[in-house]
Amino acid sequence: MLMRITEAAARLGMSPRMLRYREDLGLLPPLRDRPYGRGHAHRQFTEEDLATITAGLAIERRFDITPAALAFGLRVLTDPTARAAVADLGRRTGHVPAGPGAGRALDFEKERALRALGGAPPSAPGARER
């Protein structure tokens, strides 16, 4: 069964505006019929879409975070550059240990990020740039 945004929002206990906000943040499944456009006014929601949105809401409640924080968490998981920057900050602030394996993990992440960006990995194995 397909439903419009007003019905989906009502079933989720939120306003259509909040549902659109979540869509803008990337917290809704992508549109199947129009992958390149938002199309808020005509988006149709499935039960699977509602289940995905409900899962996101549960994460927000469980960890007491905002939708924007959850969206950034997803970005860190999918964007090697963001992941490396957050890992570096974690090490600088002492939240992430900088033990013996941490350097190798950083090198791996750096190489992955460079490959994703079309750059070449460091020339010598184990070489680290700072």
Where does residue 129 rank: exposed (0-12), middle (13-18), buried (19+ CB within 10 A)?
exposed
Element (H, E) at 51: helix 47-63
Of residues 119 and 42, more confidence is placed in 42
Mean pLDDT, the chain, whole residue set: 82
Q: pLDDT tens-digit profile of 53-95?
A: 999 999 999 999 999 999 999 999 999 999 999 999 999 999 9
Whether residue 16 is predicted with pLDDT greater than 90 in this model: the reply is yes
DSSP labels, 66-126: -HHHHHHHHHHHH-HHHHHHHHHHHHHHTSS---HHHHHHHHHHHHHHHHHHTPPPPSSTT
User: According to the model, what pLDDT value does residue 38 have?
Assistant: 52
